[in-house]
Amino acid sequence: MRRPTVTAGVRYVEITIPDGRRNVVLNTLEDEGIDYVVFDETSSREYTAVARFSLPTQAVEPVLDRLYEAGIGEDAGVVVIDAETVVSQKFTRLREQYKRGGLEGERISRQVLRTKADELTPGFPIYATMVLISAVVATAGLLLDSPAVVVGSMVIAPLIGPALATNIGVVIADDDLRSTGLVYQVVGITLVVAGSIALATAARVAGLEPAGIDIVAVAELEERVTPNVLSLAVALGAGIAGVMSLTRGFSEAIVGVMIAAALIPPAAATGIATAWGMYGAAAGAAVLVLVNLLAINLAGLLTLWIAGYRPRGLFDVPAARRQTITYASLMTLAVLLLLVPLVSATLIDLQTTQLESDANDEVDAVLAEPAYDDLEAEEVEIELDNDYPLRSIDRVVVVVTSDDFGPVQGLTDRLYAAIAPHAAEPIVVEVQFVVAEQEGDGEARRIATASDDSGPRRLSTLTIAAPSVVQ
């Protein structure tokens, strides 16, 4: 008969038993139905034996807790390592005994979880260095408008460890772990912003990016200084995925990139906008950083608590519960307050999209009239003002292709009357007439500007592009 083989979810445990605790340990293992071996300890230290046994992953935490409750003490040495294969009928029964399904079914033990959090949090000098390098790469990527470089900055940012350490420390009542995680997170974000300010200022002074340009018009920057509610979904997903990856044995590196994606680029954008003196835009990016940071921690904290992680001592659980509720409540309140500008930005995005759709329909309808047979709509664009972070719709720009040199009288008023009712607030409707002229075998555009007698919120400009033949 073939013996059962288990190849996944196995931990190999070794306990160095203190003097006077041998019977306690062995009796507990017998009661749990655990197959074990015992070796006498001969090193002349205050230990009598070493017990070794295999456990299903989900059994490690309750078995170790029971051993501690039985009185083996903190001086007992415990080692837990991964095992590849166990061939044992008794182990199979033990695994069925501890198989509980749901979120707790295959999660790693509290002891292993804490160790992993420590491993993912490097020493402070290394952490600070890696964060600063990430800040430099992110800042360069944003200034270059290079998504590939920005992604590179996320890969090298060691932010997953501190985020997880903070929340693990809260739910298992480990004050040292919680404090370390909090300090690392705050210092890390501060270093990114400071490093970004320094590099962006140097780039501006050196003329690598002209000081007069609207720096936040860069696509990679614009989406970070005017965030919307969807940004929150990224942070919440990163927090949940971070905890799930750690507790279920998935790849922490991939999830670490996701956490960094929610924090590093907006923190670098904060520094760039500050260096350019665009403090409203900097405030918008800073709000995104804070919302994402809080959301990552809130999602991680709740996921850990729902997964069943608690302190070891029975009397420590109520204190940990109160601490978890306090932290979760404060973070939830802060997120809700910071969501106000994000909701406002989201509403503006929705209004902009709707107005652009309505304007396109109205422009097509007007230009379909017989009086405008020689005109063709080339583009309809909605422009926002520069009042970061809470921007509003400033104007609707309609680009019309014309065969005649000069604005078409009355068209601007006609388009304004059609488009303005769709806007929630008074807007400017600007009509740009692009005149194409033949030059050689192709079409050329020459540049000039003219305006008609339209009203204060109705502008007409004639745009003729500089000589360049379009093949």
Half-sphere exposure of 312 (CA within 13 A, CB side): 18
73 touches 18 (CB < 8 A)? yes
* 3-class secondary structure, 121: coil
C-alpha to C-alpha distance for 290 and 285, rounded to whole angstroms: 9
* Alpha helices (H) along 368-402: none
pLDDT recorded at residue 446: 41
Q: In terms of residues, how long is the chain?
A: 471
Structure tokens given for 348: 């503006």
C-alpha to C-alpha distance for 338 and 287, rounded to whole angstroms: 7
pLDDT recorded at residue 343: 87
Nearest by Cα to 132 from 85, 75, 193: 193
| Chain mean position to CA 73 | 41
pLDDT recorded at residue 5: 55
The correct answer on CATH 3.20.20.190 for the domain covering 5-99 is no
Give CA torsion, residues 308, 314, 315, 318, to 10 deg. Answer: 20
What is the pLDDT tens value at each position of the chain, 471 positions in all? 445 555 557 888 888 888 888 888 888 888 888 888 888 877 767 788 888 888 887 788 888 888 887 777 667 778 888 777 777 777 777 777 776 544 344 567 777 788 778 878 888 999 999 999 999 999 998 888 888 898 888 888 888 889 888 988 898 888 888 999 999 999 999 999 999 999 999 988 887 765 445 676 676 777 788 888 888 888 888 888 878 877 776 666 677 787 888 899 999 999 998 998 888 889 889 999 999 999 999 988 998 888 888 887 655 678 888 888 999 999 999 999 988 888 888 888 889 899 999 999 999 998 888 888 888 888 898 888 877 777 888 889 888 887 766 667 788 888 888 998 888 888 888 888 887 655 544 444 443 333 444 455 555 554 444 333 332
The structure's pTM equals: 0.75
15 touches 41 (CB < 8 A)? no
C-alpha to C-alpha distance for 9 and 320, rounded to whole angstroms: 28
pLDDT recorded at residue 132: 94
**End-to-end Cα separation, the chain, in angstroms:** 80
* 3-class secondary structure, 429: strand
Give the residue extent of every domain in the chain.
Answer: 5-99, 116-309, 351-463
The residue type of 115 is T
**What is the DSSP secondary-structure string of 46-98?**
SEEEEEEEEEEGGGHHHHHHHHHHTT--TTSEEEEEEES-EE-HHHHHHHHHH
* 3-class secondary structure, 6: strand
Structure tokens given for 438: 């033949």
Q: Residue 183 — left, alpha, or beta (φ > 0 → left; ψ -120 to 50 → alpha)?
A: alpha
φ, ψ of residue 77 in degrees (nearest 5): -85, 130
Kindly give, in sequence order, each residue whose CB lies less than 8 Å from that of residue 334, ignoring residues fewer than 6 positions away: 290, 294
pLDDT recorded at residue 211: 47
Greatest alpha-carbon span in the chain = 106
CATH of domain 351-463: 3.30.300
Nearest by Cα to 427 from 355, 343, 342, 367: 355
